[in-house]
Amino acid sequence: MARALARPAAGGGMLPWLGLALILFVADQLTKVLILGWYGLGDSTYVAPFFNIVRVHNTGAAFSFLASASGWQRWLFTGIGVAATLFILWMLRTHPGQKLFSFALACILGGAVGNVVDRLLHGYVVDFLQFHWRGWYFPAFNIADAAITVGAACLILDEVLRVRRSR
* Alpha carbon distance, N-terminus to C-terminus of the chain: 20
The DSSP code for 64 is G
158 is catalytic: no
Catalytic residue among 28, 43, 118, 145: 145
Report the 10 Å Cβ neighbour count for 13.
15
Quote the CA–CA distance of 94 and 35 in Å, as a whole number. Answer: 37
Beta-sheet pairing, 51-58 with 136-137: unpaired
Catalytic residue among 28, 43, 118, 127: 127
Give kind and range of the element (H or E) at residue 100. Answer: helix 99-122
Nearest to 31 by CA among 49, 67, 55: 55
**How many helices (DSSP H) and strands (DSSP E) are in the chain?**
5, 4
Residues with catalytic roles: 127, 145
